[in-house]
Amino acid sequence: MKHVQGGMMITPMVYVKEHVVWEYKLLTRNLAKEEAPNEAELNALGKEGWELAGITTDHPLVRFYFKRMKD
């Protein structure tokens, strides 16, 4: 969002002072042979700090990409 000050547009800036390091987890499922992760499985990953970052498909394979901040 831009704010107007004296008729000029000001773009807010965000400064990140610490360097964040991520770690990643890949979960691959063959939907011809097994189910996609269920709610309980996803909740368990969430409790471990994993966040679903993306999904790709290459039938019948589905890849679930997770990330979390590395300790």
Q: Residue range 4-17: average pLDDT? A: 76
pLDDT in tens, 50-60: 999 999 999 99
Q: Residue 61 pLDDT more than 80?
A: yes
- Domain tally, the chain: 1
Q: Residue 71 pLDDT more than 90?
A: no
Instruction: Give the whole-angstrom CA distance, residue 24 versus residue 12.
Output: 31
Contacts of 65 (CB under 8 A, 6+ apart): 24, 25, 26, 52, 53, 54, 55, 56
Q: Residue 28 pLDDT more than 90?
A: yes
Kindly state whether residue 21 falls inside one of the protein's structural domains.
yes
65: containing domain: 17-69
Q: Residue range 26-47: average pLDDT? A: 97
Q: What is the pLDDT of residue 14?
A: 81
Going by C-alpha positions, the residue among 28, 18, 16, 27 that lies closest to residue 50 is 27
Kindly state whether residue 1 falls inside one of the protein's structural domains.
no
Q: What is the pLDDT of residue 34?
A: 97
Kindly state whether residue 23 falls inside one of the protein's structural domains.
yes
